[in-house]
Structure 1
Amino acid sequence: MFDPTPENPLSAPDQALVALLRALKARRYVFVTPTPATHARIRAREPTRDAADLRDALGWNMPFAKDLLDPEIRDLLDAAGALDRFRDGRWKCTLRVSSLGTDLYLHSSYPTISEDAVFFGPDSYRFASLVQRELAPLALADGCHLVDIGTGSGVGAITAAQVQPGLQLTMTDINPNALRLARINACAAGIRVRSVQGETLDGVRGPIDIALANPPYMIDRKARAYRDGGDMHGGQVAYDMAVATVERLSSGGKFILYTGSAILRGQDHLREALGAMASGYDCDLRYREIDPDVFGEELETDAYAAVERIALISAVFTRHGQKARTANAR
């Protein structure tokens, strides 16, 4: 049984959510979360329909009659403060629950528009697949320190722990709501983690042997931190994160980066920038396109007027020494 660390205690409402995830898992709950656009299309088919089962209520986030849920699930949601009641007597859950492999993840309700939203969707599944692919072949000693940077719902750290059970895990995020849900998700999965709130790695103790990150890569008109990738047509956050992370890697350490890159007239400027940076830090870099074309609707906006496609990429850095940063690194 997972026992939260003294520095990361779980409140009574959070313990209720851990129990909720375990109860749902016992009921073999499964819900694969699509993109927000797909979610909107599905809901638009029957916009006034109430939930008919757990998947409708906790996955599609539909309103439901109070007696839809069995007493155990309803009582746990109530104890967690995760239910809103409408004037007409119907209820709605303030969180969603998604499945990835054998684990369940709490994340924000639909639509994810709040400043502290915690997103889970297709990128989460692709990121988990990349982490599995990269970590499975490694012969890591027990106690190797892995840091999941910008953890969100905790997908990176939890997936890593499933692949390499002997890891020491740290999750970071600027969003306290994300760290809260990530701790709950990890606890429900039986995984011990340490969490650190902050925009930098300053609060992370000791050397970093493995780092993971799935930073935002889109230009967001509202500049929401969980979605806005900054300059370089959305690549700046990923680049800055790579610089800060590689500086902290132990000799032989790895940084596994999953993000998106805007392609302009056939050129991948993020790849060029990361390649120059890797050379300056005495790193090997393996870079590949995971998907050549996502979020095509964004190309219709002014921010992407010069972009011909948005690609999903992985960049895996392996550091060989402690060479100081050179002029090649931006």
Structure 2
Amino acid sequence: MDGSAKLNDPDLALTGLLGELDRRGYDFTPPTPATHRRVAARRDVAQGGDLRDILGWSLPFSAGEAPRFLTAALTAAGVLTRLGDGWMKSRLRVARLKGRLFLHSAFPTEDEDSVFLGPDSYRFADFIARELDPTLAGRVVDVGGGAGVGALTALQSAAAAELTMTDINPTALRLARINAAHAGATLALRRTSGLDGVEPGLAAVLANPPYMADSHQTYRDGGAMHGGRLSVDWAEAALAKLAPGGRLLLYTGSAIVAGGRDELGEALAMLAQANGANLDYREIDPDVFGEELETPAYADVERIAVVTAVMTQGR
């Protein structure tokens, strides 16, 4: 299944919605959950059917005030929740990233199959655009790709690459398929965990794994090592699938424990050495999601840093 495959009627309704939003110049950048809560708390409903209120800030809206094209599309797609007394709420949001519109889950993203898109997505896209070779023409896999940001950014940067996106979440695959169709991009989609079942010989692997600890939500929880375990596992899997000279572009978070120790950085360095790979590891934001430090899982953590790792497989 790829981004140009035939879409069913609910998918076509959402593709049409993205097209109409594009024509109207819709624009929204989703902030962190903490910022979203603060801004949304200033008012509890959308104002006059404003599209950014409805599809960005995820506010309830009045059926009488909302544009007809919007309610028609959301109803046809089966993603409209009716709250009673003429009020309703969209179960999807729309963001613009690098000029493209992306469907993702409404706020708050509390469901197990939520598809998240936020500030990390923008930094991940910038990382890919900066590091991916524009002349690359081999097979590239975006692991756990969610809404398709990594894969579609890669296609924008290296048009000749053959892109596949994997995810274990069927909702993510559906939204990525619609987002790809709206972008006019050919994107192969595969439901699998990590790189399971993917043939070796890859030119590049893109990865933006979950990196929070004890979140109990698949799209956020990175496992042990204060959320860093999944990043190490995906890096190890990528090294096993990369062709000689192939590169892993890993964007993730690292919990810096008491004393300033970076356990993730140490683990990736050991992994690279064991596999004869070159590692370029950088801290690009020293402090994100500071509110998490109030939870028991981060009792011994000083800060959560955003890091990037470029691992190049030996020739």
Q: Do Structure 1 and Structure 2 share a fold, with TM-score over 0.5?
A: yes
Aligned to 1:45, the other structure's residue is in SS state: coil
**2:117, 2:147 within 8 Å by CA — same for their partners in 1?**
yes
Partner Cα distance (1:211, 1:59) in 2: 30
Q: How many residues of Structure 1 are paired with residues of Structure 2 in the alignment?
A: 314
Partner Cα distance (1:241, 1:261) in 2: 15
Gaps of at least 5 residues in structure 1 are 322-330
C-alpha spacing 1:153/1:303, structure 2 compared with 1 (3 Å): same
CA deviations over 1:36-69 (Å, ceiling 9, x no partner): 1111111111225555411111111111122433
Match of 1:88 among 85, 90, 105: 85
Match of 1:58 among 51, 55, 64: 55
Per the alignment, residue 299 of structure 2 pairs with 305
TM-score scaled by structure 2?
0.95
Per the alignment, residue 269 of structure 2 pairs with 275
Per the alignment, residue 190 of structure 2 pairs with 196
Per the alignment, residue 11 of structure 1 pairs with 8
- 4+ residue segments displaced more than 6 Å: none
C-alpha spacing 1:87/1:227, structure 2 compared with 1 (3 Å): same
C-alpha spacing 1:204/1:119, structure 2 compared with 1 (3 Å): same
Per the alignment, residue 156 of structure 1 pairs with 150
Match of 1:247 among 240, 248, 255: 240
Match of 1:70 among 64, 67, 71: 67
Per the alignment, residue 97 of structure 1 pairs with 94
1:296 matched to 2:293: no
Partner Cα distance (1:266, 1:141) in 2: 37
Gaps of at least 5 residues in structure 2 are none
**1:196, 1:203 within 8 Å by CA — same for their partners in 2?**
no
Partner Cα distance (1:81, 1:256) in 2: 36
Aligned partner of 1:167: which letter?
A
Moved more, 58-67 or 4-13: 4-13
Aligned partner of 1:140: which letter?
T
Per the alignment, residue 214 of structure 1 pairs with 208
Partner Cα distance (1:108, 1:51) in 2: 22
**1:51, 1:57 within 8 Å by CA — same for their partners in 2?**
no
TM-score scaled by structure 1?
0.91
Aligned to 1:186, the other structure's residue is in SS state: helix
1:234 matched to 2:237: no
How much has 1:230 moved relative to structure 2?
A: 0.7
**2:49, 2:66 within 8 Å by CA — same for their partners in 1?**
no
**1:148, 1:157 within 8 Å by CA — same for their partners in 2?**
yes
Work out the percentage of aligned pairs sharing the same amino acid: 51
**2:144, 2:194 within 8 Å by CA — same for their partners in 1?**
no
**2:45, 2:60 within 8 Å by CA — same for their partners in 1?**
no
**1:50, 1:63 within 8 Å by CA — same for their partners in 2?**
no
Per the alignment, residue 140 of structure 1 pairs with 135
Moved more, 68-77 or 167-176: 68-77
Aligned to 1:275, the other structure's residue is in SS state: helix
**1:215, 1:238 within 8 Å by CA — same for their partners in 2?**
yes
Q: Cα RMSD between the aligned structures?
A: 1.7
How much has 1:207 moved relative to structure 2?
A: 2.2
